[in-house]
Structure 1
């Protein structure tokens, strides 16, 4: 891999900062709202001990970002690059969540655009796993231009496998 999946990324509104161990409390403040996880495969992530596992996986991935508002400095959520596959020139983007105060404010499309614009310099395909019941995220994927490929059982870090919808975007189809 001749690129970094954990470099600082930004646009005029948001900054994606590589996640650090000392970000736990600030991120857990956002994650501790049960409504955030209602449609996610693990609805218990609002609980501190469950979120600790999620956070550990994020740190160990070495591709996770803290999403921060440039205006306020407020932590909005988290996302990550993971599972780079050099042979297939692909990578996954996921484990994304935002606090409710970010919903409906065009945060996710802007964050995904920054990530996709960056990573398509290095890979041909980006894959997303979305929980089968996470309709909000499936709609977001389709608005982004991702193609629904199949359903697949996915084991998230330290969790039992769940059925996910697999989406992908090819570099040649991405309009930056």
Structure 2
């Protein structure tokens, strides 16, 4: 599976992240509101964002999201590692968008394009979302993802962090898209 495709929708271009995207993305990420429900709530700090951006660049799956008309960056997202076992699995996540673009359908449009791309190669897409990140949890449910019974525990700044695992299968995605028509 190509984890750094170029995808186009009516309003968006989703393309591989490049180093020169850093400053524009940091301007978006430096707004604390972007991270207020995220388990790593201080990613607005430059040194925390630096590590996040470097990890994205090293991941081989990081993507920049831009406005198709103006070319301005709206945020970033990522495909995680591809696991070809049992029909294939990939994770989509690490997404953040400028608060100016919240509530305008950008996230579902981006996720639908990414899901359509992923389901050409995999049977299952997973998402990991912080337990108290209700904005992201609602967004995932709106695109047809379902919370699984799995979760992951981590620590950040000495505190327990719970990530819930959401999933969507190829069949569920196709059914969900038909229902939305």
State the TM-score, normalized to the length of structure 2.
0.90
Secondary structure class of the residue paired with 1:5 = coil
Secondary structure class of the residue paired with 1:50 = helix
Secondary structure class of the residue paired with 1:174 = helix
| Cα separation, 2, equivalents of 1:155 and 1:123 | 27
**Contact 1:19 1:59 (8 Å CA) reproduced:** yes
Which residue does 1:73 correspond to in 2? 71
Aligned residue runs from structure 1 range 158-169, under 5 A = 162-169=161-168
Report the number of matched residues: 172
Instruction: From 39, 42, 53, give the equivalent of 2:40.
Output: 42
Deviations 1:102-161, CA, capped at 9 Å, x for gaps: 1000000000010011110000000000111100000011111111103522559xx987
RMSD (Å), alpha carbons: 1.7
2:17 pairs with 1:16:
no
Which residue does 1:149 correspond to in 2? 148
| Cα separation, 2, equivalents of 1:59 and 1:31 | 16
Runs of 4+ in 1 over 4 A off after TM superposition: none
Which residue does 1:60 correspond to in 2? 58
Secondary structure class of the residue paired with 2:113 = helix
Which residue does 1:86 correspond to in 2? 84
Relative to total residues, which structure has the larger helix share, 1 or 2?
Answer: 2
Structure 2, unpaired ranges of 5+: none
Instruction: Report deviation, 1:71.
Output: 1.7
Structure 1, unpaired ranges of 5+: none
**Contact 1:153 1:161 (8 Å CA) reproduced:** no
| Cα separation, 2, equivalents of 1:19 and 1:168 | 25
| Cα separation, 1, equivalents of 2:82 and 2:164 | 19
Instruction: Report deviation, 1:54.
Output: 0.5
Cα gap change, 1:79/1:155 in structure 2, threshold over 3 Å: closer, same or farther?
farther
